[in-house]
Amino acid sequence: MAVTEAQNPLLGENTCGSLLKKLQEIWDEVGESDEQRDKMLLQLEQECLDVYKRKVEQAAKSRAQLLQALSDAKLELSTLLSALGEKSFAGIPENTSGTIKEQLAAIAPVLEQLWQQKEERIKEFSDVQSQIQQICGEIAGNLNLNDVSPAVDESDLSLKKLDEYQSELQELQKEKSERLHKVLEFVSTVHDLCAVLGMDFFSTATEVHPSLNDSTGVQSKSISNDTLARLAKTVLTLKEDKKQRLHKLQELASQLIDLWNLMDTHPEERRLFDHVTCNMSASVDEVTVPGALALDLIEQAEVEVERLDQLKASRMKEIAFKKQAELEEIFARAHIEVDPDAAREKIMALIDSGNIEPTELLADMDNQIAKAKEEALSRKDILDKVEKWMSACEEESWLEDYNRVLKISLRLYFSFLV
């Protein structure tokens, strides 16, 4: 059996040849037979083969692992490129020759760059999707959606997909802006209506949604479908309240004016209620002064109308008697006989019974006065003639009396002379 004699400088003198030589010396000294020696040498050779075999198997296993790592790296490279929507990458080596370790070393930095690019792309997707989720939550009125981060589909991180999300985000941002504009318009309308109606804007707005009061920022205001619907309903309710209050106030203003005219109220007293009568003929949209339709103002007008109503009966008697006196004077000038006591009793009875509106009574008396004036005018010619005739009669009677007195005087005078 051939045994190498080469010395390994790393092992010094403990080479295979030196060890074998030393073993033979021991065998010679011991007296081992050639058969026994060959058996031991075969055993040594087999043990060496087993060692080499194990080393070969280990090397083969290491090569297989490296090949698998290379295959996995290439698959990962392909997967990353597909996920990122890239057909190629500038850092990928075109030449795939070389040892396995050289190929792995060439792919490793490319993978690192692609992983970094993937992480950045995931962050971009997460940011855009989070904004989309937030706006969708604001529109739906479910802000709890923002408690969970959106899941990013890592199988498609292409720029095309990112552009789709960004386009969706832009549309949602546009819708959010439009909704916010509507909300602000509604809030402004509610503010103006509350001011005119003398209502508390803060409580009215926060009743719709707590974010709608003036203390919160514009971007923090709710833009949900429910908020918009409730705002629209609130505006309609306030507009209806405004319409009804204006109608009520105009009715009160009309009653005040009628009562003032009826009782000949002084202008200074009327001016105290200019804030009530100024909207007498105004339309709903024309009333914009804060507090113009406040409940306390309407109540104030109601109290004044009630007060004037209570004064109306006594004043009506005074005014009615004044007109009756005017009517009697016209009748007297026209030589028309009337029963003033009966007329006054009738007026008293009508006013006390309440069966006739004072305005109707005064209007009826005004009609009587107008008719009496017409009747007096129609009798004017006759009355003038009667007055002239009576004057002539009085003058003729005076001449007769004068002549009679003159005759008596002359007779006495001549009697005296005789």
Q: 3-state secondary structure string, 75-135? A: HHHHHHHHHCCCCCCCCCCCCCCCCHHHHHHHHHHHHHHHHHHHHHHHHHHHHHHHHHHHH
Instruction: Please say whether the beta carbons of 183 and 228 come within 8 A.
Output: yes
Q: What pLDDT, on the 0 to 100 scale, is given for residue 371? A: 84
Segment 114-129 shows an average pLDDT of: 94
Segment 268-282 shows an average pLDDT of: 91
Q: What pLDDT, on the 0 to 100 scale, is given for residue 298? A: 94
Give, in degrees to the nearest 5, the angle at Cα 142 between 141 and 147. Answer: 145
Q: What pLDDT, on the 0 to 100 scale, is given for residue 411? A: 56
Segment 86-96 shows an average pLDDT of: 64
Q: What pLDDT, on the 0 to 100 scale, is given for residue 268? A: 92
Give, in degrees to the nearest 5, the angle at Cα 89 between 87 and 93. Answer: 120
Q: Is the pLDDT of residue 399 over 50?
A: yes
Going by the DSSP 8-state scheme, the letter that residue 10 receives in this structure is T
Instruction: Please say whether the beta carbons of 208 and 167 come within 8 A.
Output: no
Instruction: Please say whether the beta carbons of 320 and 364 come within 8 A.
Output: no
Q: How many other C-beta atoms can be found within 10 angstroms of the C-beta atom of residue 394?
A: 9
Q: Give dist(CA 191, CA 205) in Å, integer.
A: 8
Q: What pLDDT, on the 0 to 100 scale, is given for residue 317? A: 76
Tell which wins on pLDDT, 392 or 260: 260
Segment 54-68 shows an average pLDDT of: 95
Q: What pLDDT, on the 0 to 100 scale, is given for residue 264? A: 79
Q: Give dist(CA 103, CA 92) in Å, integer.
A: 11
Q: Lowest-pLDDT range, 172-176, 271-275, 377-381?
A: 377-381
Q: Tokens in use for 373?
A: 């004036």
Strands (E), 266-321: none
Q: What pLDDT, on the 0 to 100 scale, is given for residue 401? A: 63
Q: What pLDDT, on the 0 to 100 scale, is given for residue 343? A: 78
Token pair 């007060």 is found at 307
Tell which wins on pLDDT, 318 or 26: 26
Look at residues 192, 207, 193, 199 and name the one whose alpha carbon lies nearest to residue 295: 199
DSSP H helices, 334-357, are: 340-353
Q: What pLDDT, on the 0 to 100 scale, is given for residue 7? A: 44
Q: What pLDDT, on the 0 to 100 scale, is given for residue 416? A: 46
Q: Give dist(CA 45, CA 164) in Å, integer.
A: 71
The string of pLDDT tens digits covering residues 8-47 is 444 445 788 888 899 899 999 998 888 998 999 999 899 9
Q: What pLDDT, on the 0 to 100 scale, is given for residue 4? A: 43
Q: What pLDDT, on the 0 to 100 scale, is given for residue 152? A: 92
Segment 269-281 shows an average pLDDT of: 90
Q: Is the pLDDT of residue 89 over 70?
A: no
For the entire predicted model, the pTM comes to 0.64
The string of pLDDT tens digits covering residues 157-211 is 999 999 999 999 999 999 999 999 999 999 999 999 999 999 999 999 999 988 8
Predicted confidence band of residue 340 (pLDDT cuts 50, 70, 90):
confident
The string of pLDDT tens digits covering residues 214-245 is 665 666 788 999 999 999 999 999 999 999 99
For the chain, the farthest-separated pair of C-alpha atoms sits apart, in whole angstroms, at 241
- Return the exposure string of 281-310: e unless at least 16 CB atoms fall within 10 Å of the residue's CB, then b: eeebeebeeeebbbeebbebbeebbeebee
Q: Is the pLDDT of residue 68 over 60?
A: yes
Going by the DSSP 8-state scheme, the letter that residue 86 receives in this structure is -
Q: What pLDDT, on the 0 to 100 scale, is given for residue 388? A: 66
